Structure 1
């Protein structure tokens, strides 16, 4: 399904709010989309994988990429639709981006009305900021190989599954060496890195909903909260408490937008 919210080029701004559990069905846009979460958590899913967008972060969706969106918590979504020819060369694939304070304020200003969204200065600044955003490791790629698909789907259902790659090899009828090679070829990461990414994506909505680090760590198969926090820091640069405190402070800004 092709949907267009492109009202005023080269950038259009579109606000929308959702209740917990809402779902946008599979669709695509002719334009690129920067999907920003003022509050709530979104999960964007395509044929190539899934991306989790915590509050104050954004996901980049290139033109004509089919995607669906799942909402956790009350979501205030603020989108920019950008002409395909203006997409930054560095953003050819879906990715989660760390939104700067300046870009955040520009997005929130743009969705207040066409007189702001059509302002050439605001549009120019938004495009310049987007081109330099940091890419965050909040992506779970999906493989094409049917054996890897079976493993990844099983882990998506039960992220705390204790099986090693050797255990999975016995179940899917391939050597662990073959599976390790396929993970690197198709997903550009090894099995353990993929599983860590998955557990991080599963942890974020629960932590943001107020669950304790200890509870989330236990449910995701970590022997201790310390081990979980070490993984979290390695992937996101902060421990869970620091990360959540920073998100909460940003979410408190402009609470009515």
Structure 2
């Protein structure tokens, strides 16, 4: 595992609410150690899944969402698979009317384009156009809908091995007993601890992991049938039915809402 590295594209500015914007990418699994800072931070990905670790748990976040971390909240992160992402740092003084607790936001086309534009700012004080764009970014953080679509990640090391394997290969159809043998843990302990640490039974957690991956695949434009087969569903109908029960609409309808 390598350290998550972001190339700074705009310097820290004391004269504006958006201190700097960074972009980063990598083909391998990337990680940051738990840390905290006085800045607020909004981060998301254009490609790949991010495991965000907070004091009260860890969450898997797909590419169509962003995570807001208010100032002084300890956090860390790990990517799963190839990753291309961005991060916006906000002055503490500009965070008063932004969400007070860490949350997952639905990324809008406007936010994504504003962040990419801000990443190209030169090393200079904010001019009028830059200040306006900074306010757009803050307004998007303030008003975008909060999405409870994260996936809690277990903390126990053996359970984490299983969870990471399922994230990497969501179509793996091994049952709980076979996973328990693979991770050198009893099936009873695996079942009990998974519920205690994630709030989900093992089977439900795996189903949700597949659905979370399917959100990214939908955003990438993959056909629904191809998504279903790639993720190990027996038929496209089975995937569509589970998606509708979980999110209240079909994958096709959900994809339409992802369009800018």
Give the TM-score taking structure 1 as reference length: 0.68
- Once the two structures are TM-superposed, the CA of residue 154 in structure 1 deviates from its matched residue by 3.2
Runs of 5+ in structure 1 lacking a partner?
Answer: 251-257
- Once the two structures are TM-superposed, the CA of residue 130 in structure 1 deviates from its matched residue by 2.4
Contact 2:159 2:190 survives alignment (8 Å): yes
Secondary structure of the structure 2 residue equivalent to 1:135: coil
1:183-230: per-residue Cα shift (whole Å, max 9, x none)? 232113222332122112333444444433222212322111111122
Cα distance change, pair 221–23 in 1 and its aligned pair in 2 (3 A)? closer
Cα distance change, pair 103–44 in 1 and its aligned pair in 2 (3 A)? same
Q: 1:62-77 residue pairs with structure 2 within 5 A? A: 62-63=70-71, 65-68=75-78
The 1-side partners of 2:160 and 2:109 are apart by 38
Runs of 5+ in structure 2 lacking a partner?
Answer: none
Cα distance change, pair 112–99 in 1 and its aligned pair in 2 (3 A)? same
Contact 1:222 1:228 survives alignment (8 Å): yes
Corresponding residue number in structure 2 for 1:255? none
Cα distance change, pair 164–24 in 1 and its aligned pair in 2 (3 A)? closer
Contact 1:44 1:70 survives alignment (8 Å): yes
Alignment partner of 2:21 out of 14, 29, 39: 14
The 2-side partners of 1:12 and 1:69 are apart by 24
Give the TM-score taking structure 2 as reference length: 0.67
The 2-side partners of 1:147 and 1:24 are apart by 20
Corresponding residue number in structure 2 for 1:60? 68
Count of aligned positions: 237
The 2-side partners of 1:99 and 1:158 are apart by 25
